[in-house]
Structure 1
Amino acid sequence: MAASAEAEPRVAGCEIRSIDYVPLNERHGKLWHLGPLWFMSNAQIATLAVGLISITEGGNLIWSLIAIVAGTVIGTFFMAFHSAQGPQLGLPQMIQSRPQFGYVGALLVWLFAYLQYAGFNIFNSILAGQALHTTVHGSVNLWVVLVTVLAFVLALVGYDVIHRAEQFLTYTFLVVFGVFTVGVLVNLGFPAGAFDLGDFHWTPFLAQFGVVAGYQISWAIYVSDYSRYLPPNVTVRKTFYWTYFGSALGGVWLMTLGALLAAWAGKDFDTIRSIKAAGDTVFHGFGAIVLLFAALGLVSVTALNMYGGSLTLIGAIDSVKKVRPTLGMRVVTIGLTAVLSLIGALAATSHFLENFENFLLLILYLFIPWTAVNLMDYYVVRRGHYAIAEIFNSRGIYGRWGWHGIIAYLVGFAVMVPFFSVGTLYVGPAAKALGGADISLFIGLPVSALLYWLLTRSIDVAAEQRLAEAEADELERAAHEHREPYDDPKQK
């Protein structure tokens, strides 16, 4: 089917689609593009800060590295399976929560998702501001504002330019951080016992594992956003692989660097200063080069958060009052997301690492039940068969409140609470009994998934599939004409 002028997904170079379905004649791109995008999204220095949690809590280096690898292997598994949903449904990630949680009920998880986008951008823009202040001087706040503005422009232009930017940054990263990593391994010294496998402590190991797994799972709310324009004939397996290995390699690389730098610097560790000092062991001034490139990476990932935050905010507004997902709506919601993140960054205190660890654990807790419910629904209950037009129908078959999903989410979260261990903020009774070790991940995932499966045994998936087939032509026509599918399919 040839693309018409009305179906063109851009206005003056800017993407206009947001939460709406991407029609087949606008599908484009190659699967391998997912690899650089998710590699570079993780290969930036906010990720580096994730890798030093165990070291700062008394763990040794070798067990920190094992925890990083284990947390990445498990956490990335879930986010990569979410990525495979995008090409099949042609929808961004969070709008896909409506079949499980309901047209209005999905607001429960969308609120948490939006807080995540804003929270990560606060940390990202602060780090970028500090990196630029250290290398080219000027006020940190001024650089934070500039980073926010650049990220806003990148997010506004949208999907295609974000993919291209991440590809370029990936190739550059391999050179700059390749040299930097060799310098760290060759030039830095590590304390005695750093590689002693006999020096094992559960609490720092599980703290590191939980933060890493949470960090990787936190990407789950993004992934379909950046695969939804791909043709639906791409395979789930290959979509999974490109996403998984891109994200996992980027994450392990930077988190490992974080652990190595923390073990080397000890109590004197500071993300920006330590990177600069380690880089300068290669040659004088190389530390500044590393930080300048790192700032570019942080601009790109800040744009990803603005883009995803905009989609989430538009979806939330649409759940309360129908809106047309226009370019103007994208401008407003990306702008609001940028402003909120900027205010948070300018008002943030200096307790960066402590706050970042707590934030990552909170994300883990909030999204473990969601990822369990969403993946169980997609891969086991409905097996990828959705009546997509009904997702935009407030009176449709998925209902306003998806009590199956809401109950499974709340119960899964509740059973996790005794196992929470959030530094000095809260340690649950089960975590105390385990010496402060946090195993809530292994509790919430199976409970939410199995409960949702039990609650949805009565769903007539075959009937939903027949409805999807009946609505398919209208869905494509509506997407070409940039309008909503009919509100009530029975009246078509």
Structure 2
Amino acid sequence: MNDRPTTDSALAIERRTIEVIPDDERHGTPRNQFTLWFGANMQITAIVDGALAVVFGADALWAIVGLLIGNVLGGVVMALHSAQGPRLGLPQMISSRAQFGVFGAVVPLVLVVLMYLGFAATGTVLAGQAIGHILHSDNVVVGIVVFGVLTAVVAVTGYRLIHTVGRVASVVGIIGFTYLAIRLFADYDVASVIGVKPFDFATFLLAVSLGAGWQLTFGPYVADYSRYLPRTTSGRATFWSTLAGTVIGSSWSMAFGALVAAVAGDAFLDDQVGFVGGLAGPAFVAVLIYLVIVIGKLTINCLNAYGGFMSILTTVTAFNGQTRVSSTARAAYIVGFTAVSVLIALAASADFLANFKNFILTLLMVFTPWSAINLIDYYLISRERVDVPALYSPGGRYGRWNATALGCYVIGIVAQIPFLAQALYTGPVTGLLGGADVSWIVGLVVTAAIYYPLARRTSNPPESMIYPEQVDGARTG
């Protein structure tokens, strides 16, 4: 059976899932990663994320600086994951079986799926509000359902269409956000809210953490969208294209959010989408801005649905031994995931901002150790050499469970607890730091310091890269 796509059209339904992408189906250039991640970050949730730093006490100027630093730091980690895609041709979480074992990789995968559901649900709420404004309806249910259907259609169609939507989101995002920035400076005395508060270490680190957390949570699926690039694609080019797209897009959106929160206060907090639409001015222009919001949210929501399906499939196939599924099953996974996210969106709490802040920072705690383990193993221990067939075999090189990686992962999470600064729990060390949350830094450093020396003694990487057609370890291609 020939599984190759019959057309290069963006509307051709993708057939590949968790298997290696064959060389004759690879396509695209690193700049596709720039437009995808730029478009995915030019959206309303990133605006809300940037606003959080000001809402919780930071001066607008220091919030913008902190958010930029956080986006760069987290973006570097995220882009290093992206650079794995062309060489491996695999979804991100399949490759993490090399560190955690075929069964062991399921442990972080459960948290990954919850992350995708959380982001998909919160994004669906905001996009549903925008659609409601377009339809002149106060009933957000219709908007949420319509947006859920759009997400499912694009995600089921797959990789090519997702990239196309990302390119559209990049263009309309630049136009829409530039216009909104002009309106913001025309309608408000923005200069009067910049630099009016003294530097506060705790709120500055909160801004850094919000930016870093935003980027680090892309790590578990970023390679899903670079795995179709030709195997000869430069890892460095993939890294820089991804980093530039995600940092520029997110920093732009978050800086705008920080300024909006500083000048608007409660008017923004009460209705984030409505305020942005109202800022647009005339009704017909507001409708266009709502469309910009919907397109931006559609890009990132499709990444969440696509990545969520891939993570669920990676979990299931760890135990049933499958290396791929049918197109019908693939569609069912995506539709099911999207339906659950819509149901969560419909039941979402009204206390959106506070819950979203805690959600981001909690995810940061569980994903920084995973990133540290994955990147150290791939770049420093295995040195980009992976036995791909063994990733699908519990009895192979990587085994069922990797106690070293799982133990370090748990230690990396536990080590962060004394440094947490969240609504439900504040660690004892946090008070000594003036309330600053540095748990994610602790998680990265502690995990790396423990895992690297242990992995050097216990890991068994192949002598060279082994692809499915080269199971004898001969030529690496």
Q: Structures share a fold, TM > 0.5?
A: yes
Residue of structure 1 in register with 2:194 after alignment: 194
Give the corresponding residue for 2:124.
125
Q: Deviations over 1:302-342 (max 9, x none)?
A: 11111100100000001122234221221121012111101
2:214 aligns with 215
C-alpha RMSD of the superposition: 1.9
SS of equivalent to 2:385: coil
Aligned residue runs from structure 1 range 424-443, under 5 A:
424-443=423-442
Partner of 1:274 in structure 2?
275
CA contact (8 A) 1:389 1:475 kept: no
Aligned to 2:387: 387
Q: Distance in 1 between matches of 2:294 and 2:387?
A: 42
Whole-Å separation in 1 of the counterparts to 2:325 and 2:448:
32
Q: What is the aligned partner in structure 2 of residue 347 from structure 1? A: 347
Distance 2:199 2:330 in 1: 50
User: Where does residue 149 of structure 1 map in the other structure?
Assistant: 149
Q: Could you list the per-position Cα deviations for residues 281-319 of structure 1 after superposition, in whole angstroms to 9, with x for gaps in the alignment?
A: xx5543332122211221222111111001000000011
Tell me, which stretches of 5 or more residues in structure 2 are unaligned? none
Which residue does the alignment assign to 2:90? 91
Instruction: Indicate conservation of the 8 Å contact 1:387/1:465, yes or no.
Output: no
Could you give the per-residue CA deviations for residues 422-466 of structure 1, whole angstroms, max 9, x where no partner exists?
A: 1x21111111222211011221101111211111122565x6135
* Residues in 2 aligned to 1:169 and 1:120: alpha-carbon distance in whole angstroms: 18
What amino acid does structure 1 have at the position aligned with 2:331? V
Q: Partner letter of residue 379 of structure 1?
A: Y
Residue in structure 1 matched with residue 470 of structure 2 by the alignment: 473
User: How far did 1:474 drift?
Assistant: 5.5
SS of equivalent residue, structure 1 residue 14: coil
Aligned equivalent of 2:4: 8
**Distance apart, 1:7 and its partner CA:** 3.8
Q: Give me the whole-angstrom Cα distance separating, in 2, the residues matched to 1:439 and 1:122.
A: 27
1:73-129 deviation per Cα after TM superposition (whole angstroms, max 9, x unaligned): 111110001000000001011111101111101011100110011100101110011
The count of corresponding residues between Structure 1 and Structure 2 is 466
Aligned to 1:464, which of 438, 462, 465? 462
Whole-Å Cα distance in 1 between the matches of residues 6 and 404 of structure 2? Answer: 38
**Residue aligned with 2:335, SS:** helix
The 1:177/1:62 distance shift into structure 2, 3 A limit, reads same
How far, CA to CA, are the matches of 1:440 and 1:343 in structure 2?
Answer: 32
* Amino acid corresponding to residue 373 of structure 1 in structure 2: I
1:78-477 to 2 correspondence within 5 Å?
Answer: 78-138=77-137, 139-190=139-190, 192=192, 194-196=194-196, 199-269=198-268, 270-280=271-281, 283=282, 285-323=284-322, 324-422=324-422, 424-459=423-458, 464-465=462-463, 468=466, 472-473=469-470
1:10/1:390 Cα in 2 relative to 1: closer, same or farther (>3 Å)? farther
Distance 2:71 2:394 in 1: 38
Does the aligned pair in 1 maintain the 2:132–2:142 contact within 8 Å?
no
Task: Give secondary structure in 1 for the equivalent of 2:182.
Answer: helix
The letter of the residue matching 1:465 is E
Are the aligned partners of 2:29 and 2:233 in contact in 1 as well (CA < 8 Å)?
no
Where in structure 1 are there 5+ consecutive unaligned residues? Answer: 477-492
Q: Please report how far the alpha carbon of residue 468 of structure 1 lies from its aligned counterpart in structure 2 after TM superposition.
A: 2.2
| SS of match in other structure, 2:265 | helix
Q: Distance in 2 between matches of 1:137 and 1:396?
A: 58
1:17–1:326 Cα contact (<8 Å) kept:
no
Does structure 1 retain, via aligned residues, the 8 Å contact 2:53–2:210?
Answer: no
Tell me how far apart the structure 2 counterparts of residues 47 and 261 of structure 1 sit (CA, whole Å).
12
Q: Is the 8 A contact 1:148 1:299 kept in 2?
A: no
Spell out, residue by residue over 1:195-223, the C-alpha distance to the aligned partner (whole angstroms, 9 max, x if none).
Answer: 24x61112222122111110111111121
Q: Secondary structure at the match of 1:468?
A: coil
Q: Matched residue of 1:219: which SS?
A: coil
- How far apart, CA to CA, are the structure 1 residues paired with 2:283 and 2:31? 37
> Aligned partner of 2:273: which letter?
I
Letter matched to residue 463 of structure 2:
Q
| Partner SS for 1:464 | coil
Query: What residue identity is the alignment partner of 1:161?
Result: L
3-state secondary structure, aligned to 1:105: coil
Superposed CA deviations along residues 2-28 of structure 1, whole A, max 9, x for unmatched, are: xxx714146993111111111111111
Q: CA shift at 1:187, angstroms?
A: 3.1
Provide closer, same or farther for how the CA distance between residues 108 and 10 of structure 1 changes in structure 2, counting only shifts above 3 A. farther
Three-state SS of the structure 2 residue aligned to 1:200 is: coil
Q: Alpha-carbon deviation of 1:181?
A: 1.7
8 Å contact kept, 2:42–2:253: yes
Matches of 1:302 and 1:341, distance apart in 2: 10
Q: Which amino acid aligns with 1:278?
A: L
User: Structure 1 residue 34: deviation in Å?
Assistant: 0.7
Residue type matched to 2:77 in 1? F
For the residues of structure 2 that align with 1:443 and 1:114, how far apart are their CA atoms? 24
Change (3 A) 1:98 1:9: farther
Post-superposition offset of 1:194: 2.6
Query: Percent identical across equivalent pairs?
Result: 33
- How far 1:54 moved relative to its partner? 2.1
| 1:162-196 CA-partner distances (Å, limit 9, x unpaired) | 11121122122222222222222343223745324
In structure 1, what is the equivalent of residue 73 of structure 2? 74
Q: Cα offset for 1:135?
A: 2.9
- Once residues 459 and 73 of structure 2 are traced to their aligned partners in structure 1, the CA distance between those partners, rounded to angstroms, is 32
SS of structure 2 residue aligned to 1:426 = coil
Asked whether the equivalents of residues 36 and 166 of structure 1 are also in contact (C-alpha less than 8 Å), the reply is: yes
SS at match of 1:154: helix
C-alpha distance in 2 between matches for 1:242 and 1:467? 24
Q: Is the 8 A contact 1:9 1:17 kept in 2?
A: no
Letter in 2 for 1:71: G
Aligned residue for 2:457, secondary structure, equals coil
For 2:338 and 2:236, locate their aligned partners in 1 and report how far apart those are by CA, in whole Å: 35
1:51 is aligned to 50
Give the whole-Å Cα distance in 2 for the aligned partners of 1:250 and 1:144: 25
8 Å CA contact retained: 2:21, 2:90: yes
| Conserved 8 A contact 2:102-2:394 | yes
Match of residue 479 from structure 1: none
One-letter amino acid of the counterpart of residue 150, structure 1: L
